[in-house]
Structure 1
Amino acid sequence: MTLTAEAPTTGSSTAPHSAARKRRKRAEALAGFAFLSPWLLGFVLLTAGPMLASLYLAFTNYNLFAPPQWVGLENFQRLFDDPNYLQAWKVTGTYVLLGTPIKLISALAVAMLLNNAFSGKGFYRSSFYAPSLIGASVSIAIVWKAMFIDNGIVDRLQQVFGFEAGGWVGDPSRTMPMLILLTVWQFGAPMVIFLAGLKQVPTELYEAAAVDGAGPWRKFRQITLPMLSPVIFFNLLLETIHAFQIFASAFIISNGTGGPARSTLFYTLYLYFRGFQDFQMGYASAMAWVLVLVVGAITLVFFRSSKFWVHYSGEGK
């Protein structure tokens, strides 16, 4: 019997396949970047670029009519010597600390009511969500202002019920409650999120709690709140960030002045005054970056503290 040795297999046959795979991967990558290019251009030109420009301007003296002059930390030092700046933080902080919890509590309460089975609940869900579709637009702020001015609808109603006559728009002690009522009225978005979270709570938990003799408050405290904690965290974070960004309603209701008696001088409104009325763009940029840092720090605190009170299903705790 004659034995013949087979020729060793070389890598020459696999080389074309490897090159073809590389060309295909390169073509797929180029196609991916081509589809991403509109977003990338928008991000660079409309977001990242202006942010970097404002960061540079925060360290300069710039009034739009002359080249910026480098002043270092002077703008940041001026912030804490500016009484209007401190008032803007006071007004904004009050709005965030009062408006956000009241809005979320109202949204959760209505969501729990709508979670029950009753006829026509689809209509009620749409009705409660409708104000959030409108958003904090200029038209809504104008209507809200017309309701709360002297001899407006609210003024007439409070006179009917025996309260002192007078509009809320010109009263410094009432402008903040008026704006908080406006944001609470638009609780539809967090309400829908709460409602979706309530649908995910197993009914078996409530049935077992009822067998143990738990009442409504105990069920809410020991079942509903822990199961909804991820949704509460999401809504709390989102609404807090939105509250820091209030501008349109305060601008319209105060006629662009921040009055009466600086009671509506919100942070973003004062930033607008400095940047687009006084043309102190460097100072306004410094204000903007302080706001970014404060909101970022609050967001970090929320995420760090969430491990103590946010419970996710499937956690081994």
Structure 2
Amino acid sequence: MTKRERRNLRVGLLFISPWLLGFFLTALYPLVSSTYLSFTDYSVLSKPVYIGVDNYTDLVEDELFWKSLWNTFYFAALSIPLNIIMALVLAILLSTNMPGKKIFRTIYFLPSLVPMVCLAVLWQWMLNGRLGLINTALRPLTDGLNWLMGTNFAPPNWLADPAYAKLGLVLAGAWGVGNAVVIFLAGLQDVPRTLYEAADLDGCNFWQKTLHVTLPIISPVIYFNGIMALIGSFQVFAVPWIMTGGGTGPSRSMLFAATYIYTKAFDSWSMGYACAIALILFLIILVLTLAATKLSERHIHYSGK
């Protein structure tokens, strides 16, 4: 390297040093440390004792661990498609020349600014089986069905029924898709108008233009929002924890991997065991992210390529 290149390297490293320091202290060190602790018996109050793979062998027989993984995968399978589709539809509608477009954009974005604790408390009330706003709106519908069919349907008791608890959490999460809507809106601004004009000349309708023009052009944005939704859904913690007063719910239907990590670490003081669960959760997210990246390669179109 020449003298000038060495100087440029030093200047460049100086400029990125805050990021490097943050990366080593808040990302790399915790990852390495938790990996080591996952092979130990560690209660925070005493020194970690190396026990090999005992934590991982115990996980194989831990029914609550498998229950938390099942709940996490189930929640992710419901929430990711719903959030992506809802955000995309809203973004397409808000990108049209409709009256009051800016007002509607603000309205749909505001819920994403609500803190998680406030969101959990709000939806805990909205999903109340007896007085909640959701069941108040559903009750006339169920009463009408009961009158027509002679049945005895009733609105679900969301947070007290294992069959509906995770679905209620999915509804609460869908309320805050504003961030994804904004990102989709930014992507829609980059779709060349000339492509729409060419599609109009070919006689394409709205759905054909959306399917063959809009979606291929914004496919990188769809991929980004999908990956963010995947990571967020596998790390869900605050909302179910507050809504159920401890993160388990009826018949442990709201026990997710992140809440199980917390209970093991700070209720049972089994920090090594919690680190083992956290490492497995990290590997699951990593594998799913890599798989999604690989499977979507041929379906993502980058402009200029």
Q: Given the two structures, how large is their TM-score scaled by the length of structure 1?
A: 0.86
Deviation at 1:177, TM superposition (A): 1.2
**Is the contact made by 1:88 and 1:270 (CA closer than 8 Å) also made in structure 2?**
yes
In structure 2, list runs of 5 or more residues that go unmatched: 144-152
Letter in 2 for 1:247: F
Q: 1:142-162: per-residue Cα shift (whole Å, max 9, x none)?
A: 111012123222233322332
Q: 1:120-154: per-residue Cα shift (whole Å, max 9, x none)?
A: 1111111101111225x112101110121232222
How far apart, in 1, do the equivalents of 2:54 and 2:124 lie?
39
Map residues 19-34 of structure 1 onto 2, 5 A cutoff: 22=3
Is the radius of gyration larger for structure 1 or structure 2?
1
Map of 1:5 onto structure 2: none
Letter in 2 for 1:48: L
**Is the contact made by 2:40 and 2:51 (CA closer than 8 Å) also made in structure 1?**
yes
Find out whether 1:126 has 2:116 as its counterpart.
no
Deviation at 1:58, TM superposition (A): 0.4
How far apart, in 2, do the equivalents of 1:173 and 1:264 lie?
11
The percentage of aligned residue pairs carrying the same residue is 38
Secondary structure at the residue paired with 1:169? helix
Deviation at 1:40, TM superposition (A): 3.9
How far apart, in 1, do the equivalents of 2:22 and 2:303 lie?
38
CA distance 1:287–1:220, shift in 2 (3 Å): same
**Is the contact made by 2:216 and 2:301 (CA closer than 8 Å) also made in structure 1?**
yes
How far apart, in 2, do the equivalents of 1:236 and 1:34 lie?
34
Map of 1:310 onto structure 2: 300
Map of 2:120 onto structure 1: 141
Residue of structure 2 aligned with 1:56, choices 9, 14, 36: 36
Aligned length: 293
Aligned-residue Cα RMSD (Å) equals 2.1
How far apart, in 2, do the equivalents of 1:205 and 1:97 lie?
34
**Is the contact made by 1:274 and 1:280 (CA closer than 8 Å) also made in structure 2?**
yes
**Is the contact made by 2:240 and 2:247 (CA closer than 8 Å) also made in structure 1?**
no
Residue of structure 1 aligned with 2:273, choices 283, 288, 294: 283
Map of 2:239 onto structure 1: 249
Deviation at 1:213, TM superposition (A): 2.4
How far apart, in 2, do the equivalents of 1:41 and 1:241 lie?
24
How far apart, in 2, do the equivalents of 1:166 and 1:94 lie?
19
Map residues 62-77 of structure 1 onto 2, 5 A cutoff: 62-77=42-57
**Is the contact made by 1:152 and 1:167 (CA closer than 8 Å) also made in structure 2?**
no
**Is the contact made by 2:159 and 2:249 (CA closer than 8 Å) also made in structure 1?**
no
Deviation at 1:50, TM superposition (A): 2.3
How far apart, in 2, do the equivalents of 1:166 and 1:293 lie?
36
How far apart, in 2, do the equivalents of 1:217 and 1:36 lie?
46
Map of 1:17 onto structure 2: none
Deviation at 1:179, TM superposition (A): 0.7
